[in-house]
Amino acid sequence: MSTKGKIVAGCMAPHPPHLVYGENPPQNEPKSECGWESVRWAYERLRQSLEDIDYDVLLVHSPHWRTQIGTHFLGCPTFKSKSVDPIFPHLFRFNYDMKVDVDLARAIHDKAKSKNMLVKMMENPDFRVDYGTIVSLHMTNPAWDKPVIGISSVGRAAYFSMDVMQEEMMKLGEATREAIEESGKKCVLLASHSLSHRHFIEEPEIPEDMSAEHIYHHGQYLWDMKMIDLMKKGDTQTILDVMTDFTEQTISETDGGGMMWMLSAMGMPTYPAKIHGYGTVIGTGNVVAEWRAP
């Protein structure tokens, strides 16, 4: 008899390309001197923490793969190309080569379809994977030695409302959990996004000059601290209750639904998240956090 699969951890895994630029991996063409250590070291702690867990697949939900009609899933066994950040091409030109767990991606797709969600498998092998997916995956597992699943963000918040978005992400989370349980696999989920999103409009001459790096709006910083406090308390219900206000007031990438999907898939955890660290990147607020399933 096969054993039941499980989500072993869910993480907030933000994707500023600056983090990869600051790390200088061989895949990225531009080279830096340093930079954004508070968030990079938070990722270091996440990586150390995940080393204790035996897991099979990394799943990532990215707000920079925006699909207007339904949720899409990467659906080819490999995707290999160069990803260039549209705003920061001088920081991020990354040669990626990822292996996809197509069986599990299709199983989640089918579960979501059976719940009347609009879904599609992305089966074009030349499809260029977005930088949000790539940065979160690289910072979590720079060895790239685990298969991945990439999930798009559907534009429901903009076209309808955050409430409609939330309802859909609850369903997508349930579909994800059910398919994982049936697969027998152990999975780590990544919600690929920042928290508050007010950022600068002029880059310093040296992008990694940290004397220019700071939060740009105290109100948005207070919101970030409120959200982190709720994560530390395991108060997921309040996180969901304030999500619409948080998203509007901090122009946050939570509008892409990643955090709601991850919390729903984890069954709305009431235990505390481990906060590996927080820091700003061009002024945006970025937390690396981990809910480790009991």
Q: Applying CB under 6 A, which residues contact ligand 2X7?
A: 15-17, 194, 253, 281-282, 284
Q: Is 57 helix (H, G, I), strand (E, B) or coil?
A: strand
Give 156's contacts (C-beta < 8 A, 6+ positions apart): 164, 165, 168, 257
Rounded least distance, CB 253 to ligand 2X7, Å: 6
Q: Is 164 helix (H, G, I), strand (E, B) or coil?
A: helix
Rounded least distance, CB 14 to ligand 2X7, Å: 6
Distance CA 76, CA 214 (A): 40
| Cβ distance to ligand 2X7 smaller for residue 143 or 201 | 201
Distance CA 276, CA 48 (A): 10
Both structure tokens of 155: 């534009």
Distance CA 291, CA 11 (A): 6
Assess contact for 47 and 140: CB atoms under 8 A.
yes
Rounded least distance, CB 101 to ligand 2X7, Å: 25
Rounded least distance, CB 196 to ligand 2X7, Å: 10
| Cβ distance to ligand 2X7 smaller for residue 46 or 112 | 46
Rounded least distance, CB 174 to ligand 2X7, Å: 27
Rounded least distance, CB 64 to ligand 2X7, Å: 6
| Cβ distance to ligand 2X7 smaller for residue 16 or 269 | 16
Rounded least distance, CB 87 to ligand 2X7, Å: 7
- How far, rounded to the nearest angstrom, does the alpha carbon of residue 272 sit from its chain's CA centroid? 19
Q: Where are the beta strands (DSSP E) in the chain?
A: 6-12, 57-67, 71-74, 78-84, 93-99, 119-122, 148-154, 186-191, 274-281, 284-292
Give the residue closest to ligand 2X7 by C-beta: 16
| Cβ distance to ligand 2X7 smaller for residue 194 or 250 | 194
| Cβ distance to ligand 2X7 smaller for residue 209 or 241 | 209
Q: What does the DSSP 8-state code read for residue 273? A: P
Rounded least distance, CB 233 to ligand 2X7, Å: 25
The helix (run of H) or strand (run of E) holding residue 107 is helix 102-114
| Cβ distance to ligand 2X7 smaller for residue 15 or 292 | 15
Residue found by looking up tokens 């001088």 in the block: 90
| Cβ distance to ligand 2X7 smaller for residue 86 or 294 | 86
- H helices of 141-191, in order, are 156-159, 162-183
| Cβ distance to ligand 2X7 smaller for residue 63 or 269 | 63
How many CB atoms within 10 Å of residue 29? Answer: 15
How many CB atoms within 10 Å of residue 201? Answer: 7
